[in-house]
Copies of this chain bind each other. A is one copy, B any other.
Amino acid sequence: MSTRVRIADVAAAAGVSTATVSRTLSSPGIVGEETRARVMAAVAATGYRINAAARDLRRQQPRAILVLAPNLANTFFSRIIAAIQDVAGQAGLAVQISDSRAGTDMLETMVQGGRADGIVLLDGALRPEMVRNWKLPVIQLCEWNDDYALPGLQIDNAAAARVAVNHLGDLGHTRILHVAGPSENVLSHARRAGFEDAMAARGLSPEIHQGGFTIEAGAAAAHAWANIADRPTAVFTASDECAFGFISECYRLGFKVPRDVSVIGFDDVDFAGHFLPPLTTIHQPRARLGRQAAERLVSALQSGTPLGAGYDQIPPHLVIRSSTSACSASKRTAEQSLRT
């Protein structure tokens, strides 16, 4: 808590001017070798740490990027953020992470307060008037919102849903239920649209249960599914969590996966491969998404050119594990399942 060391203290200790210290630290090449050594020694001796506020104020450039995520609770974001940190770190930029739902005021202060040069936005549900008003370069990642009129990057969610349907169709399933995500979410819409397309293309009639991304939503969907007289033989859920909830509840109700119902998730979270049964799911290359978004933002920042417009879409990849299997022509009832 002692008074902080200022650049002037280092300068005094090294017997040079503050300008020289500053130059030694930011562009070592232009100071004499001997001077540089003396300054470095003084820095070490005094334990000097640059004052970020002063530097940012003068430079008018905080050299940081801000990551806004709607819910840090979501395991999903962690790896993305790690990748962003990686790219940013290489470029000498700091990374700040903030909850995009922390309240408008706090958010505006973070964004407009001059603490960041650019933003990676993982939330598509903020007020468009607010987002459009931001004066910093922003890139949307994973989620998006056309009303923001911003560039973005995501996997091709609709195509992913089509791949899922085709996998199930190829296994012989004709009655496929989609447990859709929250109705207000863009990802839900895209996945649902892709599902409907693919079903139509195969001449099948889509069945949809309005669900959510959570375990609870999946469990509820399992009950709804179990109550259908002529039950669909396959389910495509809006997220892995939802699939976990669905499958767990199925077992509790006496059904088995994939024997009684095949299930495909979405995201390929860490746990998906270890679940019982290991979950067939759409893989989201989280490290790649984070890296690519960060690279695009960083290069725009460094070159001073604005970010291009439009969305980059990464083609989907289905990871086939054991929660899906061929549709058995002879269907068993739940009662039979229980007996085994």
Give residues in A with beta carbon < 8 Å to B. Answer: 1-2, 4, 47, 49-54, 56-57, 62, 71-75, 77-79, 81-82, 85, 89, 94-99, 102-103, 106, 108-110, 112-115, 133, 135, 215, 219, 244-245, 248, 251-252, 270-271, 274-276, 306
B244 and A274 contacting across the interface, CB-CB below 8 Å: yes
Do the beta carbons of A57 and B47 come within 8 Å of each other?
Answer: no
Q: Is the CB of A251 within 8 A of B276?
A: yes
A72-B72, A274-B244 known; A51-B82 Cβ under 8 A: no
Contacting residue for A219 out of B4, B77, B103, B274, CB 8 A: B274
Known contacts A75-B75, A89-B103, A276-B251: A215-B115 contact under CB 8 Å: no
Q: Once the chains are docked, how many angstroms separate the CA of A72 from the CA of B122?
A: 15
Known: A53-B62, A108-B49. A215 touches B133 (CB 8 A): no
Q: How far is the CB of A46 from chain B (nearest CB, A)?
A: 12
Query: What separation, in Å, do the CA atoms of A244 and B112 have in the docked complex?
Result: 43
Contact B276 A52 (CB under 8 A): no
List, in ascending order, chain B residues with CB within 8 A of A108's CB. Answer: 49
A75 to chain B, nearest CB (A): 5
Q: Is the CB of B50 within 8 A of A53?
A: no
